[in-house]
Amino acid sequence: MTADGASGARKPVSVLFVCLGNICRSPMAEGVFRSITKSDTRVGSIDSAGTGAYHEGSPPDPRTMSVLEENGEHSYHHQARKVRNSDFKDFDYVLAMDSDNLLDLSRVQRRIVKNSGLHAAPAKVMLFGDFGGHEGEEVIDPYYGARDGFTIAYEQMTRFSKGFIEKVLQGGDVPTS
């Protein structure tokens, strides 16, 4: 019997990527992860959000989109949104881009658990960089920098996504944050 209670069938894993404003890092992570896992039936819902509502309703930063397009991802569309309480039950993994966002997400999750009377919220809140081979690795926010910061972020997202696939989808150990 599997985690979803069905014999022989495993529930697809759902992932939410989170940064501050949801226009640079987290939509890039979502775009990369969608591209890498597009035909993988082990993956269910994929989305991204921000801990702040600064850019709610806006498309990703043009530099994010140009880096995705340069790397073959031409069909990605997204509108920025803020993290919702329901995300902690709707997603199996909520993956933060840096320690500040991880702290914010952990606080929200604790508040949800406290107010709901549950022992724990279903989502695993973790640093995305923990899947890249270097525990605690963060994606520096490229928003105020030059375009090369977006290229570096893309390389990290690709490495982290492949690490997630290896550790979670292929049954390896999940890093602990």
Which residues are known to be catalytic? 19, 25, 141
The set of residues, in sequence order, having a beta carbon less than 8 Å from that of 78 and lying 6+ positions away, is: 27, 30, 31, 48, 59, 60
Query: What spatial distance separates the first Cα and last Cα of the chain, rounded to whole Å?
Result: 28
Q: How far apart are CA 164 and CA 14, in angstroms?
A: 12
Q: How far apart are CA 48 and CA 68, in angstroms?
A: 15
Q: How far apart are CA 150 and CA 114, in angstroms?
A: 37
Q: How far apart are CA 106 and CA 67, in angstroms?
A: 30
b vs e for 62-94, b when ≥16 Cβ sit within 10 Å of the residue's Cβ? ebbbebbeebebeebebebbbbeeebbeebbbb
Give the CB-side neighbour count of residue 14, counting CA atoms within 13 A.
12
Angle among Cα 20, 91, 60 to the nearest 5 degrees reads: 35
